[in-house]
Structure 1
């Protein structure tokens, strides 16, 4: 079945999801912090204009582009691709457990719980190499975390995410796993493929104008949570992907690379998570 996923449609879905899940965060930000951060960003823009002698033609091109980002509903895509990785770096620099990385615009809470061992929902004949992933969730002191949640989501072989592209079942390649008594889990899914972020909208025009590429390496998204511990958000990558070194979202870290091994007609991989206790 041929699918057509547009930047505008994906952006609208991502914007609606953000408004439902995260827009309320603004209410907890003090006026002092808003003043400090807004002034810092504006001053950085002023500095760039002065340093690079920006012309009115360039300014108007920027203004037109910013307007089109809003019209296309692509602010979630723009911010998650080019800004979020630095926010994540600052927010988690204190951690002693696993490294994390960006969430991206395509997370949806409430995916079906498959228990400690199960298969991610997928279509019959889903394209991709079968992958069986085992691991444990522990605390930084080495103790197992039974009942921890491991939420998993990833794109299909065409680079599409369910609920953000037409023609896909609602929970395709999305699931939640709950660790057993020793913190273990086993997940069966398919190995995702690299994909390009949508390029038919404003972000694509920026990429073309700057001579960049739009590729993200193949990756599996996860959120790992347990009572009394900090939420870990990460993406797991595969060795040998040509875009691990130049990911457009700058989200790849060496600690997030998997080490899959051949097994039958698919692959197996072992990768666990160490969570930091919530800071007092």
Structure 2
């Protein structure tokens, strides 16, 4: 049985912020006309909220204090990925013909270990959770199998915790990169993840409590699939009948991304096939 301490919002937020900042380097430029249009519309929308709800100064000051605390807790990656990213993803993938996208979330880390076309994710001795064999094929939108495709995979453990974002978990636990074989096939041996609450002891949790919302995400697998000449697909896969599939706080579930595992052929745990279809670049 594997047990670790629960991460605090501040610890998890600091890890998410650092990871994001390392991946997205400073120095990016933006078109002034786009900045003007987007920022102006965003501010106009906020002003309309003030007018519509006749915001009081007490409420305004609470809002300011909350914004400051989100930053102090390092929770902007968490807050934005939970409440905003699903809309960005929908816009970004509106014309995709292949596999449906979903949000990346705040817990992706580059550089996971490589395992070829088949392998077992790094796990602790006695890793809790039902064994899961996750396999499939990667194809183009015209049906050709795609060899040499990178399948970058990460997930929470049976306690709903991610390595590098919770204390006491080995660095690459339940993270790995796989490369499809000449027929485009891959096989990943892992465990069934658990639903989890996003951290609730920080500023994001304070908003959730004040609004009377729940903080739960359904159990899911994270995948990035990339190949030269094709569009990167970032997605999440869920489980039929799973808790909170119907009311995911991040609004990221899509029918096309729900898996229906079956008992494994070797009698150990379960298995499920999922084929990815990549759009041309």
Deviation at 1:23, TM superposition (A): 4.1
Match of 2:9? 7
Deviation at 1:133, TM superposition (A): 1.1
2:253 matched to 1:252? yes
Question: What's the CA shift string for 1:225-272, capped at 9, x where partnerless?
Answer: 001000000000001112011100000000000110012130010101
* Correspondent of 2:275 among 252, 272, 276: 272
Is the Cα–Cα contact under 8 Å of residues 219 and 243 in structure 2 kept in the other structure?
no
Question: What is the SS of the residue equivalent to 1:49?
Answer: helix
Which aligned pairs between 1:98-117 and structure 2 lie closer than 5 A? Answer: 98-117=99-118
Question: What is the SS of the residue equivalent to 1:27?
Answer: coil
Cα distance in structure 1, aligned partners of 2:246 and 2:5: 29
Question: What is the SS of the residue equivalent to 2:156?
Answer: coil
Q: 1:198 to 1:228 in 2, by over 3 A?
A: same
Moved more, 191-200 or 1-10: 1-10
Cα distance in structure 1, aligned partners of 2:144 and 2:99: 15
Match of 1:206? 207
Deviation at 1:157, TM superposition (A): 1.0
Cα distance in structure 2, aligned partners of 1:134 and 1:149: 14
Deviation at 1:4, TM superposition (A): 3.0
* Correspondent of 1:21 among 11, 20, 23: 23
Match of 1:187? 188
- Show structure 1 runs of 5+ residues with no match: none
Moved more, 48-57 or 200-209: 48-57
Cα distance in structure 2, aligned partners of 1:206 and 1:78: 10
Question: What is the SS of the residue equivalent to 1:58?
Answer: helix
Structure 1 runs of 4+ with >4 Å offset: none
Cα distance in structure 2, aligned partners of 1:206 and 1:158: 24
Deviation at 1:2, TM superposition (A): 3.8
**Structure-1-length-normalised TM-score:** 0.97
- Show structure 2 runs of 5+ residues with no match: none
Between the two proteins, the alignment pairs up a number of residues equal to: 277
Question: What's the CA shift string for 1:178-228, capped at 9, x where partnerless?
Answer: 000010011110000000000010001001000000000000000000010
Question: What is the SS of the residue equivalent to 2:205?
Answer: helix
Match of 2:179? 178
Question: What is the SS of the residue equivalent to 2:28?
Answer: helix
Q: 1:23 to 1:248 in 2, by over 3 A?
A: farther
Question: What is the SS of the residue equivalent to 1:242?
Answer: coil
Moved more, 51-60 or 253-262: 51-60
Deviation at 1:57, TM superposition (A): 1.2
2:239 matched to 1:238? yes
Cα distance in structure 2, aligned partners of 1:240 and 1:125: 26
Which aligned pairs between 1:1-280 and structure 2 lie closer than 5 A? Answer: 1-24=3-26, 27-263=28-264, 264-278=267-281
Cα distance in structure 2, aligned partners of 1:29 and 1:90: 18
Q: RMSD value over aligned CA atoms?
A: 1.0
